[in-house]
Structure 1
Amino acid sequence: MGKVKDILYDISDILTAFCIVMIAGIVIWVSIGNIMQYPSFVAAEEKQSEKNTNFGLAVPVGDGTTSGSAVTGSAVGGKPAKGSNPELFSIYINYGESVSAIAQKFVDVGLFKSVDEFKTLVNQKNAASKLKSGNFIIPANATPDEVINKITTSPSA
């Protein structure tokens, strides 16, 4: 009698495990369409919630001497025109942004000649770990040392 009971228990355990596997398989089979469509769903959501494409880019800002959003001075290669107030650049550094990405922003506005120049100066000053995130207002006539000093202090300073 003990052997028959053990055999029944073993068979019921096997049948229970088999039923669980079958139910899981059926759930996956029914849901496979939704699972496969998930990447396109995420892409559609991203497209629907378009973000400002200029966020994090360097843009010139006025110095407060003109009304509205007018920009004073004109910068060519990052240098202000003679006889004008220096142009100001607003450069936003995102939290966790790489040194190369930050460098590219400064190269784009003409404050540095190359990404390598920026990286070399940052390395010389051991400033890579001191770079702050936020919005920095930097004059177009700022020296490379002034730029590094500015972005290693808090943006409001």
Structure 2
Amino acid sequence: MNKLKDILYNKNDLLVVFVILAIAALIISNRVDAIMAYPQTVLAQEKEKTDDPILSSDLTGSDDENKEADSDKKNAADASSSKSDTKTDPTSADSSAVNYSVYIESGSTGSKIAQTLVDCGLIKDKDAFFEAVSTAKAESKLKAGNFIVPKGSTPAQIVKILTN
């Protein structure tokens, strides 16, 4: 009789384990769509909060891949802005209508932002930018994203653009 009880209890234990595994599999299979849609949900929420463009690659991939991709995108944007933005209306001889598209990566330091501006030719040296940031007390107000900066802008004007 005891052997029969042991066999019956062991089979019941196995049955309970299989039922729990089946329930877990059903829950996971029903939620896979929600799990896989999570990055797009975060992307949509971020787009609603800000007008800054957010790339889906910002939500996935390793940091090294993102840095390389962001660097390539910045270089491509700089190259395209220098090509497309230097085109002016032939009826206008005003060369001050040239704008530069500057991409500031999320998490960029002041030094990295200054170097980006130097590389684009918008400022001559980093110190002028640092002084303008300090004067405007905008050390913690600089934002990431794409910015349109007119050619010939002063460092103070650039800081105002990067903080709005």
Question: TM-score w.r.t. structure 2 length?
Answer: 0.48
Query: If each structure's strand is expressed as a fraction of its own residues, which one has the higher value?
Result: 1
Instruction: Kindly name which structure, 1 or 2, has the bigger radius of gyration based on alpha carbons.
Output: 1
